[in-house]
Amino acid sequence: MKRVSDNHPSSGFTYVTAIVLLLFAAIAYAVYVLAPPYMADWNWRREINAQMIKASEKSDSEIRQELMRQAGLLNIPIESGSLDIYRYANEIKITYEYERKVALPGLKSLHFENSMKRQVTKVQHLFNKQQ
């Protein structure tokens, strides 16, 4: 006589286990491929914001030069023509756009673009008080 529990595998490697492992591996690979470009863009946006804070002390060409240097350090493939700096009265606006290639099936590149605006105010230095 057969027991009911004999019809079900009690342990071992099943098709469901294999599918779950493949799914986890695919997710881990996607994170491994996609996280660095998004983190680099986030860090570059922080650098753009830092440069906009100093906009009252720097010219547009100095800001562009520093941003392009930072882009090189962060491996951001942007050309100088894709980075625009505009000033209106007391505002500075920086826009950028670039494509970054990725190695994922079905996805050849990521498109990044942003436009950031900030009031230009005189920077007050905490330790260099001028009287």
CB contact at 8 A, 52 and 67: no
Rg (CA), the chain: 25
Per-residue pLDDT, 105: 86
pTM listed for this prediction: 0.75
Domain membership flag for residue 74? yes
Domain membership flag for residue 20? yes
| Percent of the chain residues past pLDDT 70, beyond the cut | 84
Per-residue pLDDT, 125: 59
Per-residue pLDDT, 14: 85
Is the pLDDT at 74 greater than 90? The verdict is yes
Domain membership flag for residue 2? no
Domain membership flag for residue 81? yes
Q: What is the rounded average pLDDT of the residues 32-54?
A: 93
Domain membership flag for residue 125? no
83-118 tens-digit pLDDT: 999 998 889 999 999 999 998 888 899 999 999 999
| Percent of the chain residues past pLDDT 90, beyond the cut | 60
Cβ neighbourhood burial of 51 (10 Å; 0-12, 13-18, 19+): buried
Per the structure, the complete domain to which residue 75 belongs is given by 13-119
Domain membership flag for residue 126? no
CB contact at 8 A, 58 and 23: no
Q: How many domains does the chain have?
A: 1
Domain membership flag for residue 128? no
Domain membership flag for residue 70? yes
